């Protein structure tokens, strides 16, 4: 679960909110914060991240720069 989103960050600009549930990073499922950090760290600085998030009853993708 997303605990906090920094104002002005790429995550905020992509529409990520605190309380969203992170389901996958770059199409790799994640089940814990540790897995999410591992997947994010695999991306190069110039890569984009594709996050699959769940909010309320819906799911959506958010693309953001690392």
Could you tell me if residue 33 is inside a domain? yes
CB neighbourhood size of 65 (10 A): 13
Mean pLDDT, contiguous 10-residue spans, the chain (66 residues): 94 95 96 93 86 96 88
Could you tell me if residue 42 is inside a domain? yes
Name which of 57, 45, 48, 64 is nearest 5 in CA terms: 64
pLDDT of residue 47: 83
Could you tell me if residue 18 is inside a domain? yes
Could you tell me if residue 2 is inside a domain? no
Could you tell me if residue 1 is inside a domain? no
Which residue range(s) make up the domain with 37?
10-65
Is 3:11 a contact under the CB 8 Å cutoff? no
Strands 48-55 and 58-65: antiparallel
CATH code at position 36: 2.30.42.10
Please state the domain count of the chain.
1
């Amino acid at each position: 679960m997303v605990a906090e989103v920094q104002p002005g960050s790429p995550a905020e600009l992509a529409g990520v909110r605190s309380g969203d549930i992170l389901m996958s990073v770059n199409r790799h499922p994640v089940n814990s914060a540790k897995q999410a950090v591992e997947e994010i760290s695999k991306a190069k600085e110039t890569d984009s991240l594709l996050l699959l998030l769940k909010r309320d009853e819906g799911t959506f993708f958010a693309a953001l720069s690392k």
